[in-house]
């Protein structure tokens, strides 16, 4: 009798645990920074680049494949600490066998950088603690109680505990999250930053006394070295460019000593190496701590030269996902190309002609005024006839235009691939029911046929034709 009761109790507990697990999994956010990695076919990567947002904006895997035949992926997480990086590396080796692991060491500046340590912890908890179920996931949760300035109870990361209130946002809100994934799979962990923000590279003395990093950082760096070597892979350390703080060069010197003592190469692009590759802090940064895509291309080609010159990788044709690698690289290279838009309407028509497959959507309300000079700038696109007091919309693609004018607002609905595009004569442009542009004045949205999505949008200065581009944020 007692045995049956125990069996029933055990069965009930097991069933309850399974139900809670299923409910928790259903409530989890549909994507994380690791989602793109999980989409990679097994044993398809030659190199992984591990780190935080510096890696996300600073290394272009498409260039490594297109120009060097190296299949790479950025295994990044926002403000990734070195202990999170350790678990991301372990997670990668569950399905991949990269020959080289490149680790960006910005996480070693934890508690010594401009970013408060507790804020860094919080960003990691919010964004980087969503791995696939398994022992590595549990170990990552446990690290929250063992290292860092903002210690957490590991049980707080259980999906049922963490996401229990998300049932209120089920349905349409979940789909919206899927429509706005942080990184498209084809970019392999890379995000394009197009803006230019002038900064200055901080000079420092290599003879400056070295300063040891936060204790937990050194402990987990040792774990990374031991784990990667146990997998039979090679390690490369790097520090991707940013405007470092006065407290950090002493840590850079400690890292150089550490790398030398472990015979690990250290490509520190925050030092003189930046000058050697032609990196200009006044032109190649998007903000004080991230490369724009011009800088990312410089760094990636230098990294590619180093990897190709020091390690052996499978031949291009030996990759079993060759066709997909080619297709993904071409889409990402296209993304780099279309990020270089002109900032004025005068050059815009020529830019469109140089990028076949670009569709231009224009909308303006009937109370919009533009100068005769700006109206003339629209004519090379075939968008002639705009006038004050008339509602207006137009679509231009590869030399042809469809347009409508009238005293009353009109509406045009188009289906292009997976997107429902709507324009009207009130200055509104929408894609899949998301309002992209609205308001008075001339509004423009671009759609790219190769990327199969809306890419950028801007308004037009009514007197000068100046353009101020922003990302549409469709993955």
Nearest of 313, 291, 293, 183 to residue 239 by alpha carbon: 291
Determine the average pLDDT of the residues in 165-174.
49
Q: Is residue 83 a contact partner of residue 147, using CB atoms and an 8 Å limit?
A: yes
Return the SS3 of 382.
coil
Q: What pLDDT is attached to residue 407? A: 63
Architecture of domain 31-337: 3-Layer(aba) Sandwich (3.40)
The pLDDT mean for the chain works out to 86
- Could you tell me the sign of the dihedral formed by the alpha carbons of 217, 223, 226, 232, in that order? negative
Q: What pLDDT is attached to residue 392? A: 76
Q: How far apart are CA 344 and CA 360, in angstroms?
A: 15
Q: What pLDDT is attached to residue 8? A: 61
Q: Is 466 exposed, middle or buried (0-12, 13-18, 19+ CB in 10 A)?
A: middle
Strand partners, 359: 397, 447
- CA angle at 297 for the pair 83 and 82, rounded to the nearest 5°: 5
Return the SS3 of 392.
strand
Residues 6+ apart with CB under 8 A from 119: none
Confidence band, pLDDT 50/70/90 cuts, at residue 344? very high
Pinpoint the alpha helices (H) of 45-192.
53-58, 61-68, 82-92, 117-127, 135-143, 159-162, 172-179
Q: What pLDDT is attached to residue 21? A: 46
> Which token pair is 31?
């994507």
Confidence band, pLDDT 50/70/90 cuts, at residue 175? very low
> Which token pair is 471?
């990302």
> Which token pair is 109?
């500046």
3-state DSSP percent of the chain in helix, strand and coil, to 5 = 40, 20, 40
Q: How far apart are CA 285 and CA 241, in angstroms?
A: 8
Q: How far apart are CA 140 and CA 86, in angstroms?
A: 9
Q: How far apart are CA 182 and CA 31, in angstroms?
A: 8
Q: Is residue 178 predicted with pLDDT exceeding 60?
A: no
pLDDT tens per residue, range 279-310: 999 999 999 999 999 999 999 999 999 999 99
Q: Is residue 67 predicted with pLDDT exceeding 60?
A: yes
- Measure CA of the first residue to CA of the last residue in the chain; give whole Å: 59
Long-range contacts of 463-467 (CB under 8 A, 24+ apart): 463/370, 463/371, 463/373, 463/374, 464/344, 464/374, 465/344, 465/345, 465/346, 465/373, 465/374, 465/377, 466/343, 466/344, 466/345, 467/341, 467/342, 467/343, 467/344, 467/345, 467/348
Determine the average pLDDT of the residues in 269-279.
93
Q: Is residue 19 predicted with pLDDT exceeding 70?
A: no
364 vs 93, residue with greater confidence: 93
Q: Is residue 172 predicted with pLDDT exceeding 80?
A: no
> Which token pair is 204?
């420092």
Q: Which helix (H) or strand (E) holds 350?
A: helix 345-354
Q: Is residue 3 predicted with pLDDT exceeding 80?
A: no
Q: Is residue 383 a contact partner of residue 401, using CB atoms and an 8 Å limit?
A: yes
Q: What pLDDT is attached to residue 387? A: 62
Q: Which segments of the chain belong to CATH 3.40.50.1110?
A: 31-337
Task: Please give the DSSP secondary-structure letter assigned to residue 467.
Answer: B
Checking phi first, is residue 41 left (phi over 0); if not, alpha (psi -120 to 50) or beta? beta
pLDDT tens per residue, range 105-153: 999 999 998 889 999 999 998 888 889 999 999 999 999 889 999 888 8
Q: Is residue 445 a contact partner of residue 361, using CB atoms and an 8 Å limit?
A: yes
For residue 195, give Cα distances in angstroms to 283, 302, 394, 454: 9, 22, 28, 19
Lowest mean pLDDT among 27-31, 60-64, 235-239, 436-440: 27-31
Confidence band, pLDDT 50/70/90 cuts, at residue 180? very low
375 vs 281, residue with greater confidence: 281
What is the percent of the chain where pLDDT is above 90? Answer: 59
Q: What pLDDT is attached to residue 289? A: 93
What is the percent of the chain where pLDDT is above 70? Answer: 85
Give the length of the chain.
475
DSSP string, 74-87: EEE-TT--HHHHHH
pLDDT tens per residue, range 378-423: 888 777 666 656 777 788 887 777 777 766 667 888 899 999 999 8
Q: What pLDDT is attached to residue 177? A: 46
- Report CA 328 to chain centroid distance, whole Å: 15
Q: pTM of the prediction?
A: 0.86
354 vs 175, residue with greater confidence: 354
Helices and strands (H and E) in the chain: how many? 16, 17
Residues 6+ apart with CB under 8 A from 221: 82, 105, 108, 258
pLDDT tens per residue, range 213-226: 999 999 999 999 99
> Which token pair is 226?
């031991």
> Which token pair is 59?
């290394």
């Amino acid at each position: 009798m007692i045995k049956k009761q125990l069996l029933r109790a055990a069965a009930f507990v097991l069933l309850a645990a399974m139900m809670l697990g299923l409910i928790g999994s259903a409530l989890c956010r549909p994507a994380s920074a690791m989602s793109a990695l999980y989409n990679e076919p097994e044993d398809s990567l030659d190199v992984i680049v591990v780190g935080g947002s510096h890696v996300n904006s600073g290394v272009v895997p498409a260039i490594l494949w297109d120009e060097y035949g190296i299949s790479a992926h950025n295994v990044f997480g926002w403000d990734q600490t070195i202990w999170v990086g350790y678990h991301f590396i372990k997670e990668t080796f569950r399905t991949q066998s990269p020959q080289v692991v490149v680790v960006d060491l910005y996480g070693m500046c934890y508690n010594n950088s401009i970013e408060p340590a507790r804020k860094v912890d919080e960003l990691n908890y919010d964004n980087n603690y969503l791995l696939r179920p398994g022992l590595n996931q549990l170990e990552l949760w446990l690290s929250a109680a063992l290292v860092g300035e903002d210690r957490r109870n590991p049980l707080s990361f259980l999906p049922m505990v963490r996401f229990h209130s998300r049932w209120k946002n089920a349905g349409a809100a979940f789909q919206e999250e899927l429509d706005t994934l942080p990184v498209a799979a084809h970019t392999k962990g890379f995000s394009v930053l197009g803006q230019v923000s002038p900064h200055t590279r901080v000079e420092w003395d290599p003879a400056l006394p070295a300063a040891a990093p936060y204790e937990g950082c050194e402990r987990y760096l040792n774990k990374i070295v031991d784990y990667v070597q146990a997998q039979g892979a090679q390690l490369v350390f790097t520090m991707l460019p940013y405007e470092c703080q006065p407290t950090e060069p002493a840590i850079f010197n400690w890292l150089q000593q550490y790398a030398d003592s472990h015979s690990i190469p250290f490509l520190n692009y925050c030092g003189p190496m930046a000058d050697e590759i032609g990196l200009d802090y006044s032109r190649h940064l998007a903000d004080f701590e991230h490369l724009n895509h011009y800088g990312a291309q410089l760094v990636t080609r230098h990294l590619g030269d180093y990897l190709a010159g020091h390690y052996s990788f499978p031949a291009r044709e030996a990759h079993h996902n060759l066709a997909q690698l080619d297709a993904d690289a071409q889409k990402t290279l296209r993304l780099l190309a279309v990020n270089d838009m002109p900032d004025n309407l005068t050059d815009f028509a020529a830019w469109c002609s140089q990028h076949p497959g670009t569709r231009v959507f224009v909308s303006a309300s009937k109370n919009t005024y533009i100068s005769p000079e700006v109206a003339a700038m629209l004519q090379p696109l075939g968008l002639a006839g705009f006038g004050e007091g008339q509602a207006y919309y137009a679509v231009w693609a590869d030399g042809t235009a469809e347009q409508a004018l009238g005293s009353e607002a009109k509406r045009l609905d188009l289906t292009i691939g997976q997107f429902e595009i709507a324009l009207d004569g009130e200055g509104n442009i929408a894609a899949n029911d998301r309002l992209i542009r609205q308001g008075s004045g001339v509004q423009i949205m671009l759609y790219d046929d190769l990327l199969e999505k809306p890419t950028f949008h801007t308004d037009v200065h009514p007197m000068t034709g100046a353009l101020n581009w922003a990302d549409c944020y469709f993955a």
